[in-house]
Each structure stands twice: as structure tokens, then as C-alpha cells.
Chains A and B, each alone.
Chain A
């Protein structure tokens, strides 16, 4: 897939030193990324599982795995719709203590 699309979707930047996000840079095997990324190779290097649904022509890249759910205590970006469909960005609450509470109708 195009490198720019990968970067926009995942927040990882592909630099000469490797794939970088926040303080972390992971070296990549040669040929993994140019204008396009070799998704399988990149996913493997980043420890991100890749699921492919051939029949439906879909794939999905999962979160980095092999350690813990949180790699750092820095709260990740969170943008989700409000219940009226309006966009909400957790970053707008910077400067306040936040209790983030997950629930469900089920």
C-alpha cells in the first residue's frame, strides 16, 4: 500500500532509520518501504498481526503485540464520535483529570 496511507492510518512514520512513533524507532529490512510498503514484511517487523480475508479482499493490521496492552503511559490519541455523531478528540481535555469509562448496552 502507499507509504503515505500507511503513515496516516497508523501514526507510524517511515524514516531512513526505520519505522518511528513517539520515542521508538524500529529498523526495517531492506525493501520494506519506499513509495509503497510491503505490508507483510512491515507488520512482521513491527510485531503487528496481519489478518487477511482473501474472499472479501480485506485485510486488517492489529496492534503491536508480544508485550503489554500499554507500551507507555502516554495516553494515545483517541478520536471517537459522540452519541449525536459529532467528532470528539480526547486531546481537547488536556489540562483536566479524565476518567475514561467504557460501558455497553449489552
Chain B
């Protein structure tokens, strides 16, 4: 396993990695190159590469076992939460994930390799990868410029390009959440961006936050 943190600020990712003490490679992708290279638009996303360096599953929602993903499993929300945090948790609880299916498929591939029904042919991998219209390519270019400017200390310059990336590829949550989190840790509304996590999730419905697994 190789984990890749889509974090423009590596120290944020490092705090979690440090606590996990991983024995696997733990990389940091400040520019969200995973989006450009593979079509990632949300996290967590997993893709599989075989021994010959062939992708056998393009990126899809990848949750570990034991993830809580049904409303019945959540305890009641604590009292006295900040309103935006409470709103975030209310919607987050409605998000649908399929950790059992994903991990079972992964184990099947690990043991059977090419013989696994979950290992796709090269043609299937390409066909199942995310469509990339010209706007999505432009979004990637704007995001790359934005993160460069942010890292160079030109936060104001970065905002314009983050906004363009959001407009051009609205389904890309990594571009949005990264930009929002630079303004507010809770990714709430600002006068710098048109959206925020709760509003944007409500627009599509939390049950649609992750695409269903194509397996």
C-alpha cells in the first residue's frame, strides 16, 4: 500500500501520518497530481496497479473495513457544537460508502491476481476512468497554478485560480476542499469562495457525495 496525502500543507498530513507510524510509503502530493494523473476527484480514492505496472482498477471510493457508514451506527450528536460543525456532521452521516465490498474485492485481487473478477482489462480500465472534457483539463492547470502561487506566498493570486478550477470542474472535491481549508479549517462559507462544504454537499445530496462502486 502507498498512501498519498493530497495536502498543499504537508505538515497537516504529517501530523496524522506521524500518529499512524506506517510501515508503507506515505507520500505527499501538494499539487494534487493524483487528480491530473489518474482522475481522482475525492478522498479516499484507491487505485490498483499490478506487478507489471498496469492499472487494473481506476480510482474509486476506497474505505477501510470498520468504517461507520450507516446512520444507525452513529451516536447522537453532542450538545453545544458550533452550528457549522453540527451542520457538517448531520450531512456527513448521510454519506454512503461501501467498505465491506471494496475490501473484499481487494483481498480477492491480492490472492487471485489477473484471475480476480475485480481486475479489469486495460480497455475496461480506460473506459471506467473519469471523463476528462477540456474544462477538466483547464481546471487542473488552474489548480496547479493556484497551489504554486499559494506556496510562493501569493495567497491572493492563488484564490483566482482556485476559483477557476472550482468553476471548471465542480465535481472535483479535492480542488474545493483544499482551497476552502486554507481559509477556514471547517471549510465553511467565506466571501472569497462561492461555495462551502455543507452548501455544496446539499446541492447534490450527501448520498451522492461518493459514486457507487462499479463492481
Name the one of B37, B129, B136, B145 contacting A65, with C-beta atoms under 8 angstroms. B136
B4 touches A69 (CB 8 A): no
A22 in contact (CB, < 8 A): no
Interface centre among A47, A49, A76 (most CB of B within 10 A): A49
Indicate whether A69 sits within 8 Å of B130 (C-beta atoms), given known contacts A104-B178, A106-B177: yes
Name the one of A58, A63, A69, A97 contacting B51, with C-beta atoms under 8 angstroms. A97
B92 in contact (CB, < 8 A): no
B5 touches A104 (CB 8 A): yes
Q: Which residues B80-94 have CB closer than 8 A to chain A?
A: none
A102 touches B140 (CB 8 A): no
A60 in contact (CB, < 8 A): yes
Number of interface residues of A (CB under 8 A): 48
Among the 9-residue stretches B7-15, B68-76, B198-206, B207-215, the one with 4 or more Cβ atoms under 8 Å from chain A is B7-15
B120 to chain A, nearest CB (A): 8
B25 in contact (CB, < 8 A): yes
B122 to chain A, nearest CB (A): 4
List the A side residues contacting B48 at CB < 8 Å. 97-100
Indicate whether A63 sits within 8 Å of B62 (C-beta atoms), given known contacts A51-B145, A75-B55, A93-B2: no
**Complex alpha-carbon distance, A103 and B59, angstroms:** 12
Q: Sorted from nearest, which 8 A-B pairs have the closest CB atoms?
A: A69-B39, A65-B137, A62-B141, A73-B122, A70-B129, A105-B12, A106-B181, A73-B125
Residues of chain A at the chain B interface (Cβ within 8 Å) = 47-51, 53, 55-56, 58, 60-76, 78, 80-83, 88, 90-91, 93-106
Residues of chain B at the chain A interface (Cβ within 8 Å) = 1-7, 9-10, 12-18, 25-29, 33-34, 36-40, 43-56, 58-59, 62, 106, 109-110, 113, 120-123, 125-127, 129-142, 144-145, 148-149, 154, 157, 161, 164, 174, 177-178, 180-181, 187
